Chain A
Amino acid sequence: MRKKMIIILLFLSMVTQGILFAAPWWGGYRVAFDGYAVDAIATSEHLSFDLNITPFPNLSYSPSVQAGLAMSAGEHLLATLGADIPLFKLHTHPFQSFFRRTSAYTPTLGLATIFDLNTEELVAAVLTLQPLMFDFSDKQVGILGFHAVWDIKTESWGWGLRLFEISHYLW
């Protein structure tokens, strides 16, 4: 009886450990700091919180989907919905000496829409290029991304910067 119990426990621990090690990250949160130069969005810094889901985590170039809120002191609250995809992945890259952890250089391209929750209007569509994005498996860190912003109200192009973003995978 005791022997059987030990075998069952060993089997269960092996199976669950296998699942833990084999399972790729698929969901977590993202925090980002953005600035815009476009009429539809206030010029002060925006802090955004997004739920970040990677629907096909087993793919090397899996897209990610984000939904969340962007806020700025004393300005309108914005809701955002978007997706991004890595353009390529380099496991040996010129920036790796800056990091102690193993990293991959993964520039990304993203598309998002911005909805003003105060006026209840869709205000902008944003194309984002993140040239300095680094993947640390459970974390992704990006600095100085470029936004091309289509202002829906004035039907004109503007721009913005994603100063910093960090995606942290929890599941």
Chain B
Amino acid sequence: MNRRFIVVVICVLFMSSLPATELAISLGIWNLPRHNDVVTHNGTFIQTGVVVEIAPAWEGEAFFIIEATPHPTDQILGGVALTYALAGPVYIEREVVPNYLNAYLSLGFMGKFDASVSSYGPFIRISPLALGGPRFLFRERSINFSAFYNIPKNSVTLFWNVFLLDFYL
């Protein structure tokens, strides 16, 4: 009885919220300095995840950072972030013309899925140049800079995404 009730409640909650919520799939590249406390060997990394509308100027993000070369999936990191649009709301009603250019500030938490190398902690990210948005079906966040505080190592690592592409569904 209880289980059935919970399933019904979840279904009702999702039915009411899904049609109004903007959702995007993000894809980009992730870089960090050669000498760092986060990854064990150098290579190239892909960042992919989902971006979801929370409020007109707020969005949530969940992502994975996956090693692409030379050893695909050998190193995987994951994280979540809460992002605020600095130059005006993004998720607004149809009658209002949105900003094409925006900037974002994100706060989040990320970690590495590796039992032998412990790396996790909060990060702050600034996305100074973002073009597009949900109304334009596509958004390009360029030159994203982040500072990551690695709690187990008690160190700060800077990393960056040259670009993050968001494809709105």
**B118 within 8 A of partner (CB):** no
**B46 within 8 A of partner (CB):** yes
> What residues of B have a CB within 8 angstroms of the CB of A98 in the complex?
137-138, 167
A36 and B69 within 8 A (CB): yes
A43 and B68 within 8 A (CB): no
A100 and B138 within 8 A (CB): yes
B138 and A45 within 8 A (CB): no
> What residues of A have a CB within 8 angstroms of the CB of B41 in the complex?
43
Known: A33-B29, A98-B167, A161-B68. A44 touches B43 (CB 8 A): yes
B137 and A44 within 8 A (CB): no
Contact with B along A140-171 (1 / 0, CB 8 A): 00010000000000000001110110000000
Closest chain A CB from B111 CB (angstroms): 22
Closest B residue to A95 by beta carbon equals B167
Instruction: Choose one: B70, B132, B167; the contact of A37 (CB below 8 Å).
Output: B70
Known: A45-B29, A163-B68. A35 touches B138 (CB 8 A): no
**B31 within 8 A of partner (CB):** yes
Interface set of A (CB-CB < 8 Å, partner B): 33-37, 42-45, 73-74, 97-100, 143, 159-161, 163-164
